[in-house]
Amino acid sequence: AAEANAARIASGYDAFSRGDIDAAMAAFAENVLWHVPGRGPLSRDYHGRADVLGFFKHFMELSDGTFQVTVDKVLAKDDVVVVLCTERARRAGRSWSSPQVHVWTVKDGHATVFWQYQGDQQAEDEFWSAPK
């Protein structure tokens, strides 16, 4: 099960990097719970696929479509998948890059819970909060 869960989550990242948002969203359960910590404009809990899609659109708008995720490693045990990755974006004349840890819970082949942990929460909050 762990190997299949890791493959399912990795396929979502692959789809996202290709710009195939529909395929990326298919990896999530309808009632997915998505946690984004911090104090920036993106920081809150998102409930369900439609809310997560709104989150995706918001950070793409804020970054003028420059947001990217590079997956470094995918680890899995039972129903938990951990993705070590780097997020990058540009906005307001600034470039930003940060190591991240994404922790997923997978049930019946779909992600049900997502937790995001930033390498530098303060820098991330400042980046996304900067005026355009």
- The predicted-structure confidence for 47-77, as pLDDT tens digits, reads as follows 999 999 999 999 999 999 999 999 999 999 9
Q: For the chain, which domains are there?
A: 2-129 (3.10.450.50)
The contacts of residue 52 (CB under 8 Å, 6+ apart) are 25, 28, 32, 34, 46
For 6-16, how does the pLDDT look when each residue is reduced to its tens digit (9 = 90+)? Answer: 999 999 999 99
Residue 127, SS3?
Answer: helix
Q: Is the pLDDT of residue 110 over 80?
A: yes
Sheet holding 80-91, edge to edge: 44-47, 28-36, 110-118, 94-107, 80-91, 68-77
Q: In this predicted structure, what is the pLDDT of residue 132?
A: 74
Contact 127, 96 (CB under 8 A): yes
